[in-house]
């Protein structure tokens, strides 16, 4: 049986970048899995630095950033939030919102 272990990620690893993404999810969220696939497809085109975070392990981050639900995509610029997306809708929608 292969059990994936959550490894702590550095949410701020791309804070020096002009544009980066933080994708917040939980493993039991079905919508998160679909949204992650749409994001992966969109990001094959955009090639933005992305950090994927299981928010179960980051309650302090969720609270500080007032994250309402998952999935959530936070668009960052130089460590500052510039946009937040909860409803991913479609790959074209993501592409339009992440340009």
The domain total for the chain is 1
Span 31-39, average pLDDT: 97
**Structural domain of 30:** 20-98
How far apart, in Å, are the Cα atoms of 1 and each of 4, 29, 59?
10, 21, 28
CATH number at residue 47: 3.40.30.10
Give the tens place of pLDDT for each residue, 51-84.
999 999 999 999 999 999 999 999 999 999 999 9
Q: How confident is residue 99, by pLDDT bands cut at 50, 70 and 90?
A: confident
Domain assignment present for residue 87? The answer is: yes
Q: How confident is residue 8, by pLDDT bands cut at 50, 70 and 90?
A: confident
Domain assignment present for residue 57? The answer is: yes
Span 48-52, average pLDDT: 96
């Amino acid at each position: 049986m292969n059990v994936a272990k959550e490894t702590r990620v550095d949410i701020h690893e791309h804070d020096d970048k002009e544009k980066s993404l933080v994708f917040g999810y939980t493993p039991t969220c079905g919508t998160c899995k679909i949204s992650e696939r749409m994001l992966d497809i969109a990001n094959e085109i955009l090639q933005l630095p992305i950090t994927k975070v299981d928010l179960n392990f980051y309650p302090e981050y969720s609270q500080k950033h007032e994250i309402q639900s998952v999935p959530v995509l936070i668009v960052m610029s130089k460590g500052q939030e510039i946009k937040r997306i909860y409803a991913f809708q479609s790959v074209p929608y993501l592409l339009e919102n992440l340009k």
